[in-house]
Amino acid sequence: MSGSLLSGSGWSGVLAAVAIAWPAANAAAEPLIIESWRNDDLVIWQDQIIPAFNAQHPDIEVVFAPSAPAEYNAALNAKLEAGTAGDLITCRPFDASLALFVAGHLESLNGLAGLENFSDVAKSAWVTDDGSTVFCLPMASVIHGFIYNKEAFEELGLSEPTTVSEFNAVLDALKEDGSYAPISMGTADQWESATMGFQNIGPNYWNGEAGRLALISGDGHLTDAAYVDAFKALAAWKPYLPRGFEAQSYPDSQNLFSLGRAAIYPAGSWDISVFNSQAFFEMGAFPPPVPAGQDTCYISDHTDIALAVNATSTQKAAARTFLEWMTTAEFADIYSNALPGFFSLSNHSVTLEDPLANDFLSWRGECESTIRNSYQILSRGEPNLENQLWNVSAQVINGTLTPEQAAAEAQAGLANWYPPQQ
């Protein structure tokens, strides 16, 4: 017997509502409440970002009130419907936020002072389809690549691989030595396989933006050789994953690497701050290796996070003041340095003190940037392409689907609802 679903979720909803109402009821002047899924960043907001803002605007109290990442979208939607959401809303990229704007939950930010500090690419994840209205202020992007244990590489005389064949040679050497798991990744959480695997190495196969836009226009298909090859490259990882990787979760993968028991970690740049505080060995990073005979490298430089004003907020003026401050070089500098691995999307040039984060950032100059191919437009229908990629990527690594089957399944799902692919 298990607890009942309906009564369970009902109570958590009530508790969440109480938790939100509580600070508002107690404070003399109502504070600005920021909704976010970045609960890892609570300390940084409390100790660095909000004090820096208050140094200029002492009269505006700001409270950072994050919820768990996996529950954020559902919780936020429920709170917006009920009118209990905070004044500032952290935006997921693309359709999730666009839907909130269309439903009238977010304010238009057109005319916000400082918006000119952001390029069109930076804003692309948070504008209406016709490009006329911006509704979230871009904060940061994340970059995919591989973080490796430098000491392990030195011990075995290995160097950073730049091509797929070099990458495979490094993996073979690590496997032969046997003291480190070559790659620290598991398939239990599914998203790891898709995001850290498929979307990490994939842009090199489908030529970044060109391939991504071809999928949207209908000129390219997921059954094309590029995508099958990306799945093949992913399937080749299986022998190099830790034993029992089928039940290995994301925190397991992080711990295995930060404990020094694995040599290479397929990373999102957001992992940098976790590893900086947990790993006691020197780390390096290399971009996704390129397939044989390819000169240009492509990286996933994914617009990830932005901030919007709740349309029903009672303090829109204060909220806009906060957003205007966020367009300044001061915020870009504090944010990028406080959160190494989240790279500011503004045009201000920022100096990063963290060497690992600097490695990631430097790839923007060497490689072509793109974003995850399932995020813009292609995850609007049923079945959801992003969810499908999670499922098939994990299955490709588990060996329960061949790369061809995985590509065919994803394409069939897309063709089911997306006219250009029919």
Residues that bind other proteins (CB under 8 A): 1-6, 8, 70, 73-74, 77-78, 94-96, 99, 103, 186-191, 242-249, 252, 256, 374-375, 379, 382-387, 390-391, 394-395, 398, 400, 416
4/277 with CB nearer other proteins:
4
Which residue, 86 or 186, has its beta carbon nearer to other proteins? 186
CA–CA distance, 17 with 190 (Å, rounded to integer):
31
Q: Residue 160 is encoded by which pair of tokens?
A: 């950073």
Give the DSSP H or E segment for 109: none
For other proteins, the closer of residues 52 and 412 by Cβ is 412
> What minimum distance in Å lies between the beta carbon of 244 and other proteins?
2
Whether residue 371 contacts residue 216, with contact meaning beta carbons closer than 8 Å, is answered with no
Closer residue to other proteins (CB): 86 or 242:
242
Please state the closest distance from residue 27 (CB atom) to other proteins, in A.
30
Residue pair 93/126 in contact by the 8 Å Cβ criterion: yes
CB of 313 to other proteins, least distance (A): 20
Closest CA to 95 of 255, 240, 216: 216
3 state DSSP class of 182: strand
- Residue count of the chain: 422
Question: What does R_g of the chain's alpha carbons equal in angstroms?
Answer: 22
> Closest separation between CB of residue 242 and other proteins, Å?
6
**Of 59 and 382, which has the nearer Cβ to other proteins?**
382
Question: Considering beta carbons, is residue 359 or 409 the nearer one to other proteins?
Answer: 409
Q: Is the dihedral of CA 103, 42, 272, 248 positive or negative?
A: negative
Q: Which is nearer to other proteins, 192 or 359 (CB)?
A: 192
Min CB(246)–other proteins separation in Å? 3
Q: Least separation, in Å, of the C-beta of 237 and other proteins?
A: 15
- The Cα 165–Cα 313 span in angstroms is 55
DSSP 19-88: HHHHHHHHSSSPPEEEEES-GGGHHHIIIIIHHHHHHH-TT--EEEEE--HHHHHHHHHHHHHHT---SE
Q: How many CB atoms lie within 10 A of CB 264?
A: 27
CB of 125 to other proteins, least distance (A): 12
